[in-house]
């Protein structure tokens, strides 16, 4: 078959309307054969909608799609696959109780007379896995595999379909550092065999490591595209959020002398540590690191949500015993958990009850709630944080992601903490709300609250922190002052690469634990 000379895949003028929203506005995308094409953008920029159209999960309203120069209409996910377009979603889609081989050939098992030819199927699966240099047994059950290997199985499935285009939606978010490097290696080999990869991400620093070409979306429009190497972070951020970095991140105040938090030798055997650091009042300490590096686990152990096996914590110079989140709260140490819906909010309760949840002791007398005082206080916080809600009785379920995050924040402001730990404070919230959260974080620091900012958004960590602690393999690999922290240096430390690109030995590396694998 003669190869078309132009791009392998072209999407021209794609428009998609949802009730009340123009999700995509005449978006163009051109992907060459054998390239890794980065699709960058904030939440709500339209990346997912565009890819859903490409994978047949949703239908475009206008525009044309060409594959190998021929116009195509993609009618369903099944149809997309037969055309050679496969999508690997963030939430992996394996059937847990089937084997690897059964998953790869699900629905098209090699068979004769209605009976599955198991041996042939496993042989085919083994060949595919070998091509990927994946050390996975074809007869292993999918549910027994770590997330990274499940992802590999999905990629094998895509390859078994002779896919020409494989779309990966934030593929590294559940992966540990070792798995991330392995995935990048795999993507390069896919490329070498002529497969095109569309790679959706909002992490600039990792994009640069694998990408050839970049397309940036914002508010449903294509705002630009260029070879990956030619774009600076500054430029990419400007394209993604429509502002310069200095407009994104508010100016930092100056930390005060002394230490509000002193952590020595904190560890949870087999999970993280030992970790030591101290935090000044008014200081923002960023914590960077890949999934599985122990960031979230450290945060949870600090407030007593998970057990710890060693270490001491001092607050304001006095040693404190923290065995539960209740102890931590009483000592003035609070956590905004990474998964707002699963760990932060009670979605079925109104705003007022969510905000007052951690202050019930103070807001009651002899066990009876002072309802008036509660409402006044919550109203004050709602105004101060500009939480957009029709009333205090509105169920939190009905608020937007950004406003939900502010509700959790309001709950902790109500207890007037001395130290506030933010775990992924801007995950899944839109650009405008992000800026507001940044402003709130810096304003809190100016008031003297010590802040630990855990985030997988490297620019966020670098833009908001006085110092950056980089975690790897459960330990702090380095704490960099603001001046000497740049994305490349932090990324290398996080992945354990020296300047020459050789891996240093490092501590226990584990597959992503349950808590961290969620995105």
Of these, 348, 432, 481, 508, which contacts another protein (CB under 8 A)?
Answer: 348
Of these, 54, 345, 445, 471, which contacts another protein (CB under 8 A)?
Answer: 345
Smallest distance, another protein to C-beta of residue 391, A: 13
Report whether 268 contacts 306 (CB < 8 A). yes
Q: Which of residues 69-108 bind another protein (CB under 8 A)?
A: none
Report whether 8 contacts 27 (CB < 8 A). no
Tokens 């132009």 found at: 6
CA separation for the pair 476, 478 (Å, rounded): 5
Smallest distance, another protein to C-beta of residue 383, A: 22
CA separation for the pair 391, 477 (Å, rounded): 46
CA separation for the pair 103, 107 (Å, rounded): 9
CA separation for the pair 165, 167 (Å, rounded): 6
Options 67-75, 123-131, 274-282, 355-363: segment touching another protein (CB under 8 A) = 355-363
Tokens of 278: 């101290």
Tokens of 401: 């992601």
Q: How far is CA 261 from the centre of its chain?
A: 27
Based on the shown chain and the rule CB under 8 A, indicate whether residue 329 belongs to the binding site for another protein. yes
Smallest distance, another protein to C-beta of residue 12, A: 36
Quick note: the x/- pattern for another protein over 371-410, rule CB under 8 A, is x---------------------------------------
- If the CB atoms of residues 395 and 478 are measured against another protein, the closer one turns out to be 395
Of these, 314, 346, 479, 497, which contacts another protein (CB under 8 A)?
Answer: 346
Burial (CB < 10 A; 0-12, 13-18, 19+), residue 75, is exposed
Report whether 42 contacts 430 (CB < 8 A). yes
Q: Which residues contact 383 (CB under 8 A, 6 or more apart)?
A: none
Q: Which residues contact 66 (CB under 8 A, 6 or more apart)?
A: 7, 9, 10, 12, 72
Q: Which of residues 180-239 bind another protein (CB under 8 A)?
A: none
Quick note: the x/- pattern for another protein over 410-439, rule CB under 8 A, is -x----------------------------
Based on the shown chain and the rule CB under 8 A, indicate whether residue 351 belongs to the binding site for another protein. no
Smallest distance, another protein to C-beta of residue 328, A: 7
Q: Which of residues 289-328 bind another protein (CB under 8 A)?
A: 303, 305, 324-326, 328
Question: How many other C-beta atoms lie within 10 A of the C-beta of residue 489?
Answer: 16
As a residue count, the chain comes to 519
Of these, 342, 388, 432, 508, which contacts another protein (CB under 8 A)?
Answer: 342
Smallest distance, another protein to C-beta of residue 344, A: 6
- If the CB atoms of residues 219 and 306 are measured against another protein, the closer one turns out to be 306
Based on the shown chain and the rule CB under 8 A, indicate whether residue 21 belongs to the binding site for another protein. no
CA separation for the pair 344, 341 (Å, rounded): 6
Of these, 21, 269, 323, 360, which contacts another protein (CB under 8 A)?
Answer: 360
Smallest distance, another protein to C-beta of residue 89, A: 23
CA separation for the pair 58, 119 (Å, rounded): 37
Tokens 């540990």 found at: 176
Q: Residue 88: which region, alpha, beta or left (left: phi > 0; alpha: psi -120 to 50)?
A: beta
What 3-state DSSP class applies to 223? strand
Smallest distance, another protein to C-beta of residue 406, A: 15
- If the CB atoms of residues 216 and 302 are measured against another protein, the closer one turns out to be 302
- If the CB atoms of residues 58 and 363 are measured against another protein, the closer one turns out to be 363
- If the CB atoms of residues 21 and 342 are measured against another protein, the closer one turns out to be 342
Options 22-30, 209-217, 336-344, 451-459: segment touching another protein (CB under 8 A) = 336-344
**What residues make contact with another protein under the rule CB under 8 A?**
303, 305, 324-326, 328-330, 335, 337, 342-349, 353, 356-358, 360-361, 363-364, 367-369, 371, 411
């Amino acid at each position: 078959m003669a190869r078309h000379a132009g791009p392998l895949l072209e999407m021209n003028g794609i428009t998609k309307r949802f009730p009340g929203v123009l999700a995509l506005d005449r978006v163009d995308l051109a992907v060459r054969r054998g390239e890794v094409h980065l699709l960058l953008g904030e939440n709500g920029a339209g990346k997912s909608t565009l890819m859903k159209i490409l994978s047949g999960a949703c239908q475009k309203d206008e525009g044309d799609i060409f594959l190998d120069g021929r116009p195509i209409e993609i009618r369903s996910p099944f149809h997309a696959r037969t055309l050679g377009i496969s999508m690997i979603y963030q939430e992996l889609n394996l059937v847990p109780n089937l084997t690897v081989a059964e998953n790869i050939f699900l629905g098209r098992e090699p068979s004769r007379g209605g009976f599955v030819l198991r041996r042939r199927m496993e042989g085919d699966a083994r060949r595919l896995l070998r091509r990927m240099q994946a050390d996975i047994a074809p007869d292993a059950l999918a549910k027994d595999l770590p997330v990274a290997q499940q992802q590999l199985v999905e990629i094998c499935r895509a390859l078994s379909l002779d896919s020409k285009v494989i779309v990966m939606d934030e593929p590294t978010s559940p992966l540990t550092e070792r798995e991330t490097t392995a995935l990048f290696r795999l993507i390069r080999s896919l490329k070498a065999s002529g497969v095109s990869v569309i790679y959706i991400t909002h992490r600039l620093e990792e994009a640069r490591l694998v990408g050839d070409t970049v397309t940036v979306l914002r508010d449903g429009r294509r705002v630009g595209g260029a070879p990956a190497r030619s774009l600076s972070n500054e430029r990419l951020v400007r394209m993604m959020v429509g502002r310069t970095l200095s407009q994104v991140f508010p100016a930092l105040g100056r930390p005060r002398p002394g230490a509000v938090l002193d952590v020595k030798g904190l560890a949870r055997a087999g999970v993280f540590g030992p970790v030591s650091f101290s935090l000044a009042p008014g200081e923002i300490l960023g914590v960077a690191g890949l999934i599985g590096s122990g960031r979230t686990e450290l945060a949870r152990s600090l407030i007593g949500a998970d057990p710890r096996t060693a270490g001491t914590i001092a607050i304001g110079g006095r040693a404190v015993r923290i065995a539960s989140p209740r102890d931590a709260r009483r000592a003035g140490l609070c956590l905004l958990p990474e998964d707002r819906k699963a760990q932060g909010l009670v979605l079925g309760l109104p705003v007022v009850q969510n905000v007052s949840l951690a202050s019930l002791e103070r807001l009651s007398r002899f066990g009876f709630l002072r309802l008036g005082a509660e409402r006044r206080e919550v109203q004050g916080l709602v105004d101060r944080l500009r939480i957009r809600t029709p009333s205090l009785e509105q169920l939190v379920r009905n608020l937007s992601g950004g406003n939900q995050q502010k509700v959790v924040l309001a709950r902790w402001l109500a207890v007037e903490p001395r130290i506030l730990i933010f775990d992924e404070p801007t995950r899944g919230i839109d650009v405008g709300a992000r800026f507001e959260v940044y402003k709130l974080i810096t304003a809190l620091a100016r008031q003297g609250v010590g802040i630990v900012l855990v985030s997988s958004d490297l620019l966020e960590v670098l833009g908001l922190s006085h110092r950056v602690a980089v975690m790897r393999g459960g330990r702090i690999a380095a704490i960099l002052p603001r001046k000497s922290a740049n994305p490349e240096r932090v990324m290398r430390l996080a992945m354990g690469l020296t300047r020459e690109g050789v891996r240093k030995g490092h501590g226990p590396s584990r597959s992503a634990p349950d808590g961290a694998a969620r995105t």
